[in-house]
Chain A
Amino acid sequence: MMTNTQTLASARTGLGAAVLALTLGVALLAVSGMAQATVLHDAAHDQRHAMAFPCH
């Protein structure tokens, strides 16, 4: 019973860390690949084409 609760707790912390990493990852990709602001678009232009993001 004790072990079960703790396994659950450790699973939950793993899930928390994973959700945090997922959120950060998506935020970085939104900036490097998707945002259409001109400054960002121009700076990221070559990389977006090279990585096949839909660019403009």
Chain B
Amino acid sequence: MMRRMTNATQWHSPATKRCRVNDMTKNLLSSAVFAGVVAGLLAALLQFVFVIPMLLEGELYETGARVHFVVDGTTMSEKGAPGLGTDWGRHLMTIAFNLVTYTGYGLILAAAMMIARQFHGAEISARAGLIWGLCGFLAVQMAPAVGLPPELPGTIAAEIGPRQAWWTGTIIATVVGLWLIAFSRGLAPVVGAVLILLPHLIGAPHLDTYYGIAPPELSAEFATVSLGTAAAGWTLLGWAVAYFLTRGDNA
């Protein structure tokens, strides 16, 4: 790729060179958008099968339609998710925002691949894309979930500001850490590992009280199922970003 670019700039006029620059940018942006749409659609589909029913069940506890711990003073609550219902506007929004979110992540992932190729000589292929996607999952979903588990609606938690700050900081620290482990030598990978650990040593913002609005089994299952769904979405995202990027290169 690098050599081809160099040759191209050597033999063509400045106008053609500008064209190449535009092609490169266009390829990067369109690859990210295509991949974001594909991965976002898969993620939305999986969410409607696995995650949204639990989310709706959690809402029954959020609104008080069901109350845990109240029936006869026992710890038992009836299990069962309500149907998806007919609120198509709401569900359409969920699909739309999945596309926006995955396109956002796709753009960042594509930019990262480009930088790794230009500055570290990393080879980008659809197969390598699977690893990129999995690392994205680790940094953006898994690492923050260690401190702040995915929450059912109605979960009482610390202030939103500090949680967003810890969440963002953890993602950045994990991304930089993984990058150092993958692309640097000497002691830098060790620094990377420490960076990945650091947010968890600092600790995520939590309240000093448990509220337990929803049954713990439901919250736990919601957390794992949303992580599993995100793992699938991210793996496909990484594969697809790399696939479209390399396809655009060869066009």
Residues of A within 8 A of B (CB): 2-3, 6-7, 9-11, 13-22, 24-29, 31-34, 36, 43-56
CB of A6 within 8 A of CB of B9, answer yes
Chain B nearest Cβ from A49, distance in angstroms: 6
Closest to A48 in B: B97
Please tell me the number of chain B residues within 8 Å of chain A, measured between CB atoms.
Answer: 58
Are the C-beta atoms of B150 and A21 separated by less than 8 Å? Answer: no
Q: How far is the CA of A47 from the CA of B10 in the complex (A)?
A: 48
- A–B complex contacts, Cβ < 8 Å, 7 sampled: A2-B10, A10-B6, A13-B20, A14-B117, A17-B25, A18-B114, A47-B101
A44 CA to B92 CA, complexed, in Å: 10
Tell me the residues in window 120-151 of chain B with beta carbons closer than 8 Å to chain A beta carbons: 141, 144-145, 148-151
* Neighbouring B residues of A31 by C-beta, 8 Å: 100
Task: Say yes or no: A26-B9 contact (C-beta < 8 A), given A17-B28, A52-B144.
Answer: no
**Is there a chain A Cβ closer than 8 Å to B153's Cβ?**
yes
Within 8 A of A (CB), among B55-108: 55, 90-91, 93-94, 96-98, 100-101, 103-108
Complex: chain A residue closest to B115, CB-CB: A18
Known contacts A6-B6, A10-B2; A50 and B226 CB within 8 A of each other? yes
Chain B interface helix/strand/loop/mixed: helix
- Of the listed residues A6, A21, A55, the one surrounded by the most CB atoms of chain B closer than 10 A to its CB is A21
- Among A15, A32, A36, max chain B CB count under 10 A is at A32
Neighbour of A50 across the interface among B52, B90, B115, B157, CB < 8 A: B52
Q: A44 touches which one: B93, B151, B226 (CB < 8 A)? A: B93
A22-B107, A28-B100 given; A47·B93 CB < 8 A: yes
**Contacting pair B230 A21 (CB below 8 A):** no
Other A-B contacts than A21-B29, A25-B104, A54-B163, 5 sampled, CB-CB below 8 A, are A14-B24, A17-B21, A24-B104, A43-B93, A47-B93
**Does B211 count as interface, using CB distance less than 8 angstroms?**
no
Find out whether the CB atom of B229 lies under 8 angstroms from the CB atom of A50: yes
Query: Does B111 touch A at the CB level, under 8 Å?
Result: yes
Partner of A32, one of B25, B104, B148, B160: B104
Contacts of B214 on A, CB cut-off 8 Å?
Answer: none
| A17 touching B24 in the complex, CB below 8 Å, given contacts A2-B10, A29-B104, A50-B52 | yes
Q: Is B227 an interface residue (CB 8 A)?
A: yes
Q: Is the CB of A50 within 8 A of B25?
A: no
- B5 part of interface (Cβ distance < 8 Å): yes
Q: Which residues of A contact B184 (CB under 8 A)?
A: none
Q: Which residues of A contact B242 (CB under 8 A)?
A: none
Q: For the complex, give the distance between the alpha carbons of A25 and B114 in Å.
A: 14
By beta carbon, the residue of chain B nearest A30 is B104
